[in-house]
Structure 1
Amino acid sequence: MTNRIEAIDLPSTGPNALGRWQLGWLAAAVFVVSAGYGGLMPLLPIWLEPLMVGDAKAEIARHVGLLSGAYTAGVLVGAPLWGIASDRVGRRRVLLSGLVGYVFSLLPLLRPEWTGLAGIYAMRAATGFFVAAVVPVIPALVAEHTPRERRAKRFAWLGAMSLLGFLFGPGLNAVSDRLSAALVVLGVGSFPPTDLVIVLSVVLGGVMMLGLATSLPSTLAPVVEVEPALPQADDKRRALALWALNGTVMFVLAGFELGIVLQGQQHPTVSPREISLMFVECSLVMLGINALLFFTGLLERTAGRGILAAGLVLAIAGLAMLAQHGSDAWMFLGVSLTAAGTGLVLPTISFLAAGASRHRLGATMGGLAFAAGFGQTIGSVAAGWLFGAVAQLSFVWLAVPLLATLALLLVRPASWLLQGAELALPNPPPRSQPSRSSQEP
């Protein structure tokens, strides 16, 4: 089907355009909500123990898992709703509403004995719901107000901030421990480190809220540029394909991460320290891939289908290696290949989704977040069952969805609509703008 040419609003280079200052606040918001998730997860048993006196540790562990599920459920419900809302009422309003809700959903956790067990469940679900107003809306905002030639770099920057947030999150507990001890020494008083983690998360969320409220104008100055766009039916079909691909990759990634944890049960020689190192390795490899995409501009210069295929091949090779490894060295190599493959695919999906019609951009990004959460949830459940049934060979079964996706990508590329038709567009008139470094986000 022939592509039409649609006039869409893209940012100008005027003072109200999305610049480095605004991008910095947006990236910081992604970092803060990611760090908040990682920082609060270790506190779940501490909140539950006083409320479940006399219950077995297994029962507390079950509720820890259910509370994680409540957070995910909030994201699953909120992501598509907030995405659609941002298309209708504006990204800025939805983003600020999400940060306000995020902050207020954390405050009751300072006194879990007041809220009770049901209250903790409600607050975790509410936190996930409001985080869903931040995670998909920020990339939609960046995509909407960033020229195509700089979009991939900014998406790589956002992805790196999310990964760094997850890495830094558990460090909030260490910071809180030291801060609690320092307050005692200074004679200020004794404050539980668990409360300080929540306070730090609330303060950081509040700072992000104020920073974005003051730095993001209510409207960003648009300029009409001519850009190829898919017909509405094809635009929706491509969004569905990207959602399915995102959900599939997150399904595999969740199973892969759970498999790393379960390696300690299958291989007595694998220590908890080595498992932790594998997770660090996974995050660092993904950060390296984001850096590669940022500094090389690979996404702008290479066909998206080719990058997706390369990433899928790497991930499949890594999973195959993990299924057959006989030594720790091969295990670490398998982790690196799988992380590199998924680290290539996920940013590419986001970049391709950013090409959606601006009137559906929020819904498209919200759908990506929903698909990711759904795939992650199902992947964790399926992987737990698989590892109980076939142990290490589960990595082979996890590679099957990726193999099927790769086959479809290669055999029926047109059905994915990942590449727009080449259009001979006239060169736009030159615009006066300040020179920018090729490495500027």
Structure 2
Amino acid sequence: MATLTSIPLANTSPGDLRRMQLAWLAAAVFVVSAGYGALMPLLPGWLRPLMTDNDPTSVSRHVGYLSGIYTAGVLVGAPLWGLLSDRFGRARVLLLGLLGYVASLVSLLQPTWAGVIGIYALRGATGFFVAAVVPMVPALVAEHTPPSARARRFAWLGAMSLLGFLFGPGLNAAADRLARLAAFGGGPAWSPAPLVIGLSAALGALMMLGLVLTLPSAPSSKVSEQPERDREVGGQSATLWLINGAVMFVLAGFELGIVLQGEQHPELSSRDISLMFAECSLVMLAINALLFFTGLLERADPRRVMGAGMVLAAAGLGMLARHANEAWMYLGVSFTAAGTGIVLPTVSYLAATSARHRLGVAMGGLAAAAGLGQTLGSAAMGWLFGAIAQDSFAWLALPLLVILAAVLIRSGWWPARLAPPPQSPSSTSTEFTP
């Protein structure tokens, strides 16, 4: 858990993004993240009137399945959109993704018309079209950003995604407040659900309009004349996909584990669980701010940065497994959030070193790996938590430790910044230097 445009800021190259262009791209990430967080709480309310047995267990099961179908849409869509963007252009794919996102939301305004099967199809379609937005924004930013500014902009995109997740539940609260005000004023009774859907769709449509007006023209694309370097970047991308999937596996299991631990330990109230989730988001935001303001990724070896993040996350999971008291829980949440918050933006930063004609595939692969990791992490945690209770947090550190061990044994597997290809004196490099 994170690409377009060219208009120069002060002292930037002609292909760089203007502030307004970057703002619209970041806003697109914010909107789709907020939409996911806003719509998830609405799912039980849509399902109950459509089901013959109003059994809470059955409704909960369907909510879980709907979450899975959304992720399945991302898994299918991300690699496909990545391939299409390398062939037809990232701006077109991004706009098509936003169009499909808005259409799938508007169709949910009448869930009784869609039925249970229709809701599944629409949630899968939403995930499929979101997969055309999330990878394309960083791909566009990488394509139109000089190396000296890339790390800060990727950290900014990560922060906007986190803010979107935080804003999503707030959108529900705002819609509920508007519905109550309408009823209090003597107007017709409004349901908050259509308001949330309408606001989410309107924001998506606004993003389309803003991007249509600000997206830059595609840079000229040349077929690589360095097959050896392409193979090196391709191998790096595969390693980055593995790391991204593993860290998202851990993050998804960690977040679900916090909720499940509240079920098994009465001393942890719903307020405590909510505070832990807020703490997790705020710590990750602070890490993104650190990367944004200090330019750490531009100065430090990304391999060491990711290694430190994995050690931090593993230490936090150990503290959560210990669970001696609430203080250990909060400390463990902070360490785990900080560790994963370091690794994920670094992975995106390194993926931006891919050759331009492979950038869509690289970013699409990252999104697909993240979706797969989330799905497997949530499923594994839900299945194992009942068997090993609070100690289930400890096994989540295993994927991180395995990756670290593999790196120590085979350092060549570890992704690093690549030297730029030789260029003529008149050309401008857009790759990372060692």
TM-score (norm 1): 0.90
Q: CA shift at 1:150, angstroms? A: 0.2
Task: Provide the residue aligned with 2:181 in structure 1.
Answer: 182
1:39-58: CA deviation from partner (whole Å, max 9, x where unpaired):
00010011011111433111
Alpha carbons of 1:39 and 1:417: their partners in 2 closer, same or farther (altered >3 Å)? closer
Aligned pair count? 420
Task: Provide the residue aligned with 1:356 in structure 2.
Answer: 354
Task: Provide the residue aligned with 2:289 in structure 1.
Answer: 291
Structure-1 separation of matches of 2:231 and 2:13: 34
Task: Provide the residue aligned with 2:271 in structure 1.
Answer: 273
Structure-2 separation of matches of 1:290 and 1:427: 35
Which of 322, 335, 338 aligns to 2:336? It is 338
Contact between 2:240 and 2:415, CA under 8 Å: does it hold in 1?
A: no
Contact between 1:314 and 1:338, CA under 8 Å: does it hold in 2?
A: yes
Contact between 1:17 and 1:220, CA under 8 Å: does it hold in 2?
A: no
1:230-275: CA deviation from partner (whole Å, max 9, x where unpaired):
7121111111100001111111111111111111133221111101
Q: CA shift at 1:326, angstroms? A: 0.5
Contact between 1:352 and 1:418, CA under 8 Å: does it hold in 2?
A: yes
Alpha carbons of 1:153 and 1:336: their partners in 2 closer, same or farther (altered >3 Å)? same
Task: Provide the residue aligned with 1:56 in structure 2.
Answer: 55
Alignment of 1:26-425 (within 5 A): 26-184=25-183, 189-217=188-216, 219-220=217-218, 231-420=229-418
Which SS does the other structure have where 1:177 is aligned?
Answer: helix
Structure-1 separation of matches of 2:53 and 2:152: 53
Runs of 5+ unmatched residues, structure 2: 429-434
Q: CA shift at 1:427, angstroms? A: 9.1
Which SS does the other structure have where 1:349 is aligned?
Answer: helix
Contact between 1:78 and 1:130, CA under 8 Å: does it hold in 2?
A: yes
Contact between 2:16 and 2:144, CA under 8 Å: does it hold in 1?
A: yes
Q: CA shift at 1:198, angstroms? A: 0.5
Q: CA shift at 1:421, angstroms? A: 5.2
Contact between 1:11 and 1:223, CA under 8 Å: does it hold in 2?
A: no
Structure-2 separation of matches of 1:410 and 1:14: 39
Alpha carbons of 1:192 and 1:391: their partners in 2 closer, same or farther (altered >3 Å)? same
Contact between 1:11 and 1:222, CA under 8 Å: does it hold in 2?
A: no
TM-score (norm 2): 0.91
Structure-1 separation of matches of 2:40 and 2:81: 24
Structure-1 separation of matches of 2:140 and 2:307: 28
Which SS does the other structure have where 1:359 is aligned?
Answer: helix
Q: What amino acid maps onto 1:94 in structure 2?
A: V
Structure-1 separation of matches of 2:144 and 2:263: 48
Which SS does the other structure have where 2:354 is aligned?
Answer: coil
Structure-1 separation of matches of 2:103 and 2:221: 37
1:121-162: CA deviation from partner (whole Å, max 9, x where unpaired):
110000000000000000000001000110011001100000
Structure-1 separation of matches of 2:312 and 2:191: 45
Alpha carbons of 1:35 and 1:394: their partners in 2 closer, same or farther (altered >3 Å)? same
Q: What amino acid maps onto 1:394 in structure 2?
A: S
Contact between 2:85 and 2:92, CA under 8 Å: does it hold in 1?
A: yes
Structure-1 separation of matches of 2:143 and 2:343: 21
Between stretches 122-131 and 411-420, larger displacement belongs to 411-420
Contact between 2:156 and 2:292, CA under 8 Å: does it hold in 1?
A: yes
Q: What amino acid maps onto 2:319 in structure 1?
A: M
Structure-2 separation of matches of 1:191 and 1:201: 17
Q: CA shift at 1:423, angstroms? A: 9.3
Q: What amino acid maps onto 2:370 in structure 1?
A: A
Relative contact order higher in (CA < 8 Å, ≥ 6 apart)? 1
Which SS does the other structure have where 2:357 is aligned?
Answer: coil
Alpha carbons of 1:229 and 1:183: their partners in 2 closer, same or farther (altered >3 Å)? farther
Alpha carbons of 1:116 and 1:249: their partners in 2 closer, same or farther (altered >3 Å)? same
Task: Provide the residue aligned with 1:19 in structure 2.
Answer: 18
Q: Percent identity?
A: 63
Structure-2 separation of matches of 1:72 and 1:419: 30
Structure-1 separation of matches of 2:227 and 2:179: 55
Alpha carbons of 1:183 and 1:402: their partners in 2 closer, same or farther (altered >3 Å)? same
1:37-89: CA deviation from partner (whole Å, max 9, x where unpaired):
00000100110111114331111111111111111111110011011111110
Q: CA shift at 1:189, angstroms? A: 3.7
Q: What amino acid maps onto 2:382 in structure 1?
A: G
Task: Provide the residue aligned with 1:439 in structure 2.
Answer: none
Structure-2 separation of matches of 1:14 and 1:308: 30
Task: Provide the residue aligned with 1:436 in structure 2.
Answer: none
Structure-1 separation of matches of 2:209 and 2:377: 37
Runs of 5+ unmatched residues, structure 1: 1-8, 431-441
Alpha carbons of 1:16 and 1:368: their partners in 2 closer, same or farther (altered >3 Å)? closer
Which SS does the other structure have where 1:274 is aligned?
Answer: helix
Alpha carbons of 1:428 and 1:273: their partners in 2 closer, same or farther (altered >3 Å)? farther
